Chain A
Amino acid sequence: MIPTLVAILSLAVLGIPIALNTDRSSRGPMIVGTSFLYGSGTMFLVLLTLSIVHIRWTLISVSVAALAIFCAAAVIGRRQPTTDNRQRPVRPHVFDVLTILTIAGYTLFATLVPLWEWDFWAIWGLKAKAFLEIGAIDWRFLESHWNTFLHPDYPLLVPLNFDFVALAAGWSDRWLGLLFGAWGMALLLILRAIAARELTPFYASLLTFGLAGIALSTNIGLAEGALIAFGSAGVLFVRTGMLDDDTASWRNGALLLGFAANCKNEGMALLVAVTIAVLLVSWFRGLAVSREGDDSARARNRATARLLSLIPAYALAAPWLVLRATHALATDIAGGALVRIMTRLPHAHQILGYLAAKLYKPWFWVAILAGILIAPAAARRREAFVLLVTAIQLAFFAGAYFATPHDIHWHVLTSWPRLTAQIAVPITFVVFLMLANSLRGGEDAPHAEVGSDQ
């Protein structure tokens, strides 16, 4: 266990200068959370790059590459001017103790026994173990037509993180579970820091405690935990970037969404959903502003600038997309999708009805929907970005079921709860925020920190 903890800690240390380069004012829970996520994402890039240039993964080769990145990021960071501290100090509240206990319970759960999920030893863990055998990505293994069951087209951030931990601490089916605790904790630290900017300590800690139940994926061994962490944090950073015109939040959002795209194909879909939502929200807000007499060209420029801010996300997603295309890795949903969609369209009401019937935690989603309806219209407009991202991503998920080559019932039963969990954090965050702010009568005062209400 200790060597695995040291490996995870080293990922967090690797990420510190990168997190500070992204947002110089980052501190407290925010810097801890973002540092681990950047360390995890950077380690994926290190192992991917070493594999591409045919340098065998060893603890030495990986450490040298990581150290070079660490030093380069630290040198660049020292040259950057300090910026204003936009973050609010996170004042602790009794609910934070419950969040910590939830994380502790989750970590105990994740490490209770060797990782038990079917998809761990048939997909994510299998790839990591196979790559570790040769100290590189085993393209022959991924290309083999006997191995299509392991979804060769899925991106590799999670297996390569398993590989780094195994290089540093040895392969352990059990202690790899600690990584899931680290991804979950990183997300909750970020959520707590963002919430502290916009809510009182009581509401911010209550929200984080509630989010702990949905941000910590119980599908241990699968890529869900990492995807929820990178994707949710990315969406909420872009939201902050849009609301505050904050370039550091845009950078954080774009980079984390880029890493989310390297966790699962749904992460790539999330990036597209974010791009569409940014475009739509910027366009409609631009129209509203131009009606009020502002220069419409300036509004258009703002929309373009916002889209350009997402370029780092696509730059991070691109290498895997290129590699999987050049290696012609098998993908199950894409081939012949149009025909299947057309065949199933007449049965759309049945398919959507089945999705509704099999919704995981239906009352939770009813409460979220009720919250959207109850919230003031101004708050809904303000949070249009996250609401749109969630709606678009849901549409993508439904589309995937129309296109699936598998039996729809089987596919829905085995994946729908996981997919809905992937999008639950950002929408819960903003719905809670809208409601809590409306109680305080402060929905029109973005990021208005109020005094402690303890």
Chain B
Amino acid sequence: MTLRRVLTILCLAAIVALSIGARLLQLVFVDRAPLARALDGFYDRQWPQYPHFLADLREHTQPGDTIAVIVPAMGWDDGYSYAYYRASYFLTGREVLPLVAPDNRRLQRNFLAAKYIAVFGVRLRMPADVIWQGDQGALLRLRR
């Protein structure tokens, strides 16, 4: 057996060994509940109730409504980007307006332009009508 042949066999074996989806193969035979728990709501772990809050908001708003969201973390990378993107997904058909830009600038104009202000985990100290109130937050309409 030549050296080249030995190297070829080793290389073939290495390619197969390093490619195979061993973890996918295992999944058929193991308890998948721990993995499911780890994956489910992975990005919601900061505020596990937030998706439920957004689902409630969807029930209490109409397509075409504009909504701005206020959450406990109003820094873009501290949680606001998550809150904004997540709200956009749950509230499709409505227009979700951000109150913070990626450079952490406050977007006051959106606060005034939105038909509704959704507050989650905080209280808003401004005159507003409560459209809907849940355990974690409320849907408000500013008095202008």
Most B-side CB within 10 Å, residue of A132, A144, A212:
A212
- Quick one: which of B15, B21, B35 has the most chain A CB within 10 A? B21
Residues of B within 8 Å of A132, CB to CB, are: 92
Binds A, one of B38-46, B121-129, B134-142: B38-46
Asked if A367 contacts B15 (CB within 8 A), the reply is yes
Q: Mark A74-113, 1 if CB is under 8 A from B, else 0.
A: 0000000000000000000000001001101110110011
- Does B7 lie within 8 Å of A374, measured CB to CB? yes
Whether the pair B12, A439 counts as a contact (CB closer than 8 A) is yes
DSSP majority for the B interface?
helix
Please choose the segment from A21-29, A266-274, A299-307, A427-435 that sits at the chain B interface, where 4 or more of its residues have CB less than 8 A away: A427-435
- Check: B61 CB closer than 8 A to any chain A CB: no
Q: Mark A135-161, 1 if CB is under 8 A from B, else 0.
A: 000000000101101100000000000
CB distance from B118 to the nearest CB of A (A): 16
Quick check: A116 and B40 within 8 Å, CB to CB?
A: yes
Q: A105-B25, A133-B92, A435-B8 are in contact. Are A211 and B35 (CB under 8 A)?
A: no
Q: Among the listed A213, A216, A361, A436, which residue makes an inter-chain contact with B12, where contact means beta carbons less than 8 Å apart?
A: A436
Given A112-B32, A367-B15, A432-B12, CB of A212 within 8 Å of CB of B97: no
With the chains together, A30 CA to B95 CA distance in Å? 45
* Partner of A98 from B5, B12, B14, B25 at Cβ < 8 Å: B25
The range of chain A's interface size is: 35 or more
Q: Which of A112-128 contact B (CB under 8 A)?
A: 112-114, 116, 118, 121-122, 125-126
Interface SS of A by simple majority: helix
Q: B43 and A116: CB pair below 8 A?
A: yes
Q: Is the CB of B21 within 8 A of A213?
A: yes
Q: Do the beta carbons of B32 and A118 come within 8 Å of each other?
A: no
Which chain A residue lies CB-closest to B88? A126
Number of chain B residues whose Cβ lies closer than 8 Å to a Cβ of chain A: 41
Say yes or no for A364: interface residue by CB 8 A criterion. yes
Chain B residues 1 to 50 lying within 8 A of chain A, measured CB to CB, are 4-5, 7-9, 11-12, 14-16, 18-28, 32, 35-36, 39-43
Asked if A418 is at the interface (CB within 8 A of a chain B CB), the reply is no
| B32 in contact with A108 (CB, 8 Å) | yes
Q: Report chain A residues within 8 Å CB of B7.
A: 370, 374
- Most B CB contacts (10 A, CB to CB) among A98, A104, A109, A218 go to A109
> With a CB–CB cut-off of 8 A, which chain B residues contact A212?
20-21, 24
B41 to chain A, nearest CB (A): 8
Residues of A within 8 A of B (CB): 98, 101-102, 104-106, 108-109, 112-114, 116, 118, 121-122, 125-126, 129-130, 132-134, 144, 146-147, 149-150, 206-207, 209-214, 216, 218, 361, 363-364, 367-368, 370-371, 374-375, 428, 431-432, 435-436, 438-439
4 nearest A-B pairs in the assembled complex, by CB-CB distance:
A213-B21, A105-B27, A105-B24, A133-B93
28 contacts between A and B (CB under 8 A): A102-B21, A105-B27, A112-B32, A113-B39, A116-B40, A116-B42, A122-B88, A122-B89, A126-B92, A130-B92, A134-B93, A144-B95, A146-B98, A206-B16, A207-B16, A211-B19, A213-B22, A364-B15, A367-B11, A367-B15, A367-B18, A371-B12, A371-B15, A374-B7, A374-B8, A431-B15, A432-B15, A439-B5
